[in-house]
């Protein structure tokens, strides 16, 4: 059977029909009054979602572009940064920081384990000369399904006083509580194809007043990703460059849906989906890659035990038209990942678990 795909990967995530149809509207001029009104409404929705009064910049970029903007706008060549690295994305931010000539010190953990906040505390407390300009943390590590303890790491950053906290919230925002103002998160980057429930193409960066002060002194070169230009345009409900107009239509509709559900309900749903997935996988006799207490609420990584992960994925796809994600880099073939982020219901999890049970039975027979 064709075209009955069920997308259970950590991004792109499933998109509601309401959002797809909003996106299919004919574009309008991005300098029109009508579009300004939409931007104004969308901006209010983004602040609600981020639980912040901070400026939020909307970029035409992937999550990586948003993270790049979140890093290069606030730092200068040679600046020391602490980068948490316990998966593909933490590793990417270390590479990106080095590409821009930053002095990177990594705090690592084995893939599948959470970063230890104590290691951040030690490094930050030892930095008497306040050389550390930023701490870069991946909140939800998509490659392993691990949620890092951002709240505790951030407390140590606050105790340091000087360093900015720069957060990859790409697969946490809209799934897990990320109270930007309450925690005082300086830079929070996210992407549209995740908890937002819209297709890829938009990146978001929320920026605190402290970060804007750092921006004034930061000398890394930038133009397309110069967030100062976005801030200036925001003040006029505009954008510095042509925005992806149709994705903004989609964003408006998705934010409306999120408001209808309510933030607390969204977080509770993701928690329930995660528990259901983990219990169901355990009941099928497959080990989980991350410990219960480190589990990301967006994705569950599963060790296929006696089977090959890619064979399980191929069978799930071929027989049931369910797309799961594979392992990345050295985990390819060793884990598979079930996405339960964004527009996903309990029914979807039961469906995936039922199909997985059938798949395992078939592969074992």
The binding site for a second copy (CB under 8 A) comprises: 5, 7, 9, 11-12, 14-15, 20-21, 23-32, 60-65, 68, 95-96, 99-101, 191, 193, 199-201, 220-226, 241-247, 323, 325-326
Taking the least distance from each CB to a second copy, the nearer of 114 and 251 is: 251
CB of 360 to a second copy, least distance (A): 22
CB of 260 to a second copy, least distance (A): 21
Rounded CA gap, 116 and 137, in Å? 12
The beta-strand segments (E) located in the chain are 6-8, 55-59, 80-85, 103-108, 132-138, 140-141, 146-147, 164-168, 187-191, 203-207, 299-302, 322-326, 336-339
CB of 281 to a second copy, least distance (A): 20
CB of 291 to a second copy, least distance (A): 27
Rounded CA gap, 16 and 20, in Å? 6
DSSP string, 192-240: TTSTT-S-S--EEEEE-HHHHHHHHH--S--STT-HHHHHHHHTTT--S
Taking the least distance from each CB to a second copy, the nearer of 141 and 294 is: 141
Q: Which residues contact 112 (CB under 8 A, 6 or more apart)?
A: 144, 146, 289, 290, 301
Taking the least distance from each CB to a second copy, the nearer of 27 and 287 is: 27
Rounded CA gap, 11 and 254, in Å? 15
CB of 318 to a second copy, least distance (A): 11
Taking the least distance from each CB to a second copy, the nearer of 208 and 239 is: 239
Taking the least distance from each CB to a second copy, the nearer of 45 and 191 is: 191
Taking the least distance from each CB to a second copy, the nearer of 14 and 117 is: 14
Question: Within 13 Å, how many C-alpha atoms sit on residue 344's CB side?
Answer: 36
Maximum Cα–Cα distance across the chain: 64
CB of 182 to a second copy, least distance (A): 29
């Amino acid at each position: 059977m064709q075209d009955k795909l069920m997308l259970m990967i950590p991004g792109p995530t499933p998109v509601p029909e309401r959002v797809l149809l909003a996106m299919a509207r004919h574009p309008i001029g991005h300098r029109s009054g009508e579009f300004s009104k939409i931007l104004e409404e969308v901006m209010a929705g983004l602040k609600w979602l981020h639980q912040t009064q901070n400026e939020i910049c909307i970029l035409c970029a992937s999550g990586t572009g948003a993270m790049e903007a979140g890093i290069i706008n606030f730092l200068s060549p040679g600046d020391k940064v602490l980068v948490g690295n316990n998966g593909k994305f933490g590793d990417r931010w270390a590479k990106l920081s080095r590409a821009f000539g930053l002095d990177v010190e990594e705090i690592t953990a084995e893939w599948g384990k959470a970063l230890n906040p104590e290691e951040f505390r030690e490094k930050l407390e030892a930095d008497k000369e306040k050389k550390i300009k930023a701490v870069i943390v991946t909140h939800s590590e998509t490659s392993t399904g691990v949620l890092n303890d951002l709240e505790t790491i951030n407390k140590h950053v606050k105790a340091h006083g000087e360093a900015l906290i720069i957060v990859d919230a790409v697969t946490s925002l809209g799934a897990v509580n990320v109270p930007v103002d309450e925690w005082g998160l300086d830079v929070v980057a996210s992407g549209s194809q995740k908890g937002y429930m819209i297709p890829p193409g938009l990146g978001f960066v929320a920026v605190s007043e402290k970060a804007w002060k750092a921006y004034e002194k930061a000398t890394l070169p930038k133009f397309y990703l110069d967030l100062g230009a976005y801030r200036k345009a925001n003040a006029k409900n505009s954008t510095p460059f042509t925005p992806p107009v149709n994705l903004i239509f989609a964003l408006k509709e998705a934010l409306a849906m999120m408001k209808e559900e309510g933030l607390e309900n969204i977080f509770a749903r993701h928690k329930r989906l995660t528990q259901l997935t983990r219990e169901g996988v355990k009941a099928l006799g497959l080990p989980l890659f991350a410990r219960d207490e480190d589990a990301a609420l967006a994705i569950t990584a599963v060790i296929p035990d006696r089977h090959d992960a890619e064979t399980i994925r191929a069978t799930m796809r071929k027989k049931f038209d369910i797309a799961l994600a594979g392992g990345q880099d050295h985990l390819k073939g060793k884990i598979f990942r079930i996405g339960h982020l964004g527009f996903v219901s309990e029914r979807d999890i039961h469906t995936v678990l039922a199909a997985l049970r059938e798949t395992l039975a078939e592969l074992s027979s």
